[in-house]
Amino acid sequence: MESCNCGGPITMILACSGGSNVGQISNEVARRLTLENKGAMFCLAGMGGDIAPLVERTKSAERVLVIDGCPVACAKKTLERHGIEHEWLELTAAGIEKSANLELAEDEIQTAKDAAEEMLGF
Ligand code: SF4
């Protein structure tokens, strides 16, 4: 699955998708950006699982945005293990407090999405 930004670079988006509000917000932001053709969400678990075709496909992306929910930076560290260059957004640094509440707040999703769009230049 790829998307086109009207002649601009194809951006691959990998979210930590962790089991917390910020982890799931990272996933939701990646999903929404993909639906809006602002990038293409891809499979972080494939990087963690060392699935060669998925790792190679990520390496071939023109641009990679990694969204982590918190400073533990699971997604960032996973990409670093494969030596994949990327830009990094960490959601607690964007002002969202981490919690175990998986009832996601729409205003926090929007805050995270705004931060991602700013990084991507939208
Ligand atoms: S970066 Fe934080 S929220 Fe995301 S998977 Fe790791 S510990 Fe969980």
Rounded to two decimals, the pTM is 0.93
H/E/C letters for each residue in 37-77? CCCEECCHHHHHCCCHHHHHHHHCCCEEEEEECCCCCHHHH
Rounded distance from Cα 25 to ligand 1 centre (Å): 11
Angle at 4 between CA 28 and CA 50, to 5 degrees: 60
Please give the pLDDT value at position 8: 58
Q: Which residue has the least CA distance to atom 6 on ligand 1? A: 74
Please give the pLDDT value at position 55: 97
Please give the pLDDT value at position 118: 98
Nearest atom in ligand 1 to 20's CA: 3
Residues in contact with ligand 1 (CB, 6 Å cut-off): 16, 18, 20, 22-23, 68-70, 72-74
Angle at 35 between CA 58 and CA 63, to 5 degrees: 30
Per-residue pLDDT of the chain (122 residues; tens, 9 = 90+): 444 445 556 899 999 999 999 999 999 999 999 999 999 999 999 999 999 999 999 999 999 999 999 999 999 999 999 999 999 999 999 999 999 999 999 999 999 999 999 999 99
Closest to 98 measured CA to CA, from 69, 66, 73:
69
CA dist., res. 23 & res. 14, Å (int) = 12
Nearest atom in ligand 1 to 90's CA: 1
Please give the pLDDT value at position 10: 82
Q: Which helix (H) or strand (E) holds 107?
A: helix 106-120
Residue holding tokens 């982890």?
23
Q: Which residue has the least CA distance to atom 8 on ligand 1? A: 18
Rounded distance from Cα 72 to ligand 1 centre (Å): 6
CA dist., res. 18 & res. 60, Å (int) = 25
